[in-house]
Amino acid sequence: MTAIVDYDTGNLRSVADAMRRIGAEFTITAYPALLRGADRVLLPGVGEASSAMAKLRERGLDLVIPTLTQPVLGICIGMQLLCLDSEEGDARCLGIFPAHVRRLKPAENGLKIPHVGWNTVGGLRGTLLEGIDEETYVYYVHSYAAEVCEATIARTDYGGEFSAALGRGNFFGTQFHPEKIILKKFFRICPITVKQHRKQYSEIHSNIKISISTMTILFCAFSHKHSYFFINLNILCICCFAHFLDFLFIKDLKKSFLHNVFLTLFFRSAFL
């Protein structure tokens, strides 16, 4: 499932339409838990950078988005918000990409601001743009752009070069409106899904439960034979914690509960 960040930016419908055209499942949300649990996250945006950042902060998303570990794609203003800062409204942004967002200055070359229409991209690199030809045409509507930096994976020249796309770790961004092919490529970039996270942590979970069981056995074995109340309390606390771990990683409340009921009964019959 893909989560589209809902922070009242105005172009959610167009992004949702694009998702439907490629047959992708998605949800529009501002809830941190849903964003963290999604396989991928889209950060769209139109409008003014400082206002957009204010809306992210109102929802506490300025603290959530930088901590996401799944693939994240910022689109248009969404990409700019992933940069260090923006001259538009003197906005302090999320600081994921090491780039400053500057106002375009092509007036002296006879070019108009905003930059509206088709233009080419070059200097392509990275998995997001793999298979895209140099000098491919993409569509722009913007007056501000991220400067070229070490995270730049595509460039466009409009009175000077700017970052057409950025990529760093699991974060990506496009200043242009991503075509269907770009979205499809983004959907192939999913190194660690939620299910893979659970599988990855299942071994850790098992080791934790073995350690809990061992500590409980030792505690019960060496506790004073009349300290039944404290042994009962210890077993209850440890088994409740084990139950929580089961539910967290297995996501099966019934299975988790039955598992730990048997664990509790075993400890009681063995040591009391």
Predicted pLDDT of residue 259: 57
What are the DSSP calls for 173-218, one per residue?
EESSBPPHHHHHHHHH--SS-HHHHHHHHHHHHHHHHHHHHHHHHH
> From residue 226, how far is each of 230, 237, 266 by CA, in Å?
9, 19, 19
Q: Which two tokens stand for residue 43?
A: 């950060």
Whether the Cβ atoms of residue 198 and residue 251 lie closer than 8 Å to each other: yes
Banded pLDDT at 204 (limits 50, 70, 90): very low
Give me the percent of the chain exceeding a pLDDT of 70.
Answer: 68
- Return the SS3 of 70: coil
Mean pLDDT, to the nearest integer, of 128-151? 94
Give the CA angle between residues 54, 80, 182 to the nearest 5°: 125
> From residue 252, how far is each of 211, 257, 269 by CA, in Å?
22, 9, 26
Task: State the DSSP code for 147.
Answer: P
Q: Distance between CA atoms of 136 and 164, rounded to whole angstroms?
A: 12
Predicted pLDDT of residue 181: 79
Residue 216 has pLDDT above 80, yes or no: no
> Which of 120, 119, 44 lies closest to 80 in space, CA to CA?
44
pTM: 0.69
Banded pLDDT at 9 (limits 50, 70, 90): confident
Instruction: Check residues 200 and 114 and name the one with the higher pLDDT.
Output: 114
Predicted pLDDT of residue 192: 45
CA 135 to chain centre: 30
Active site residues: 76, 177, 179
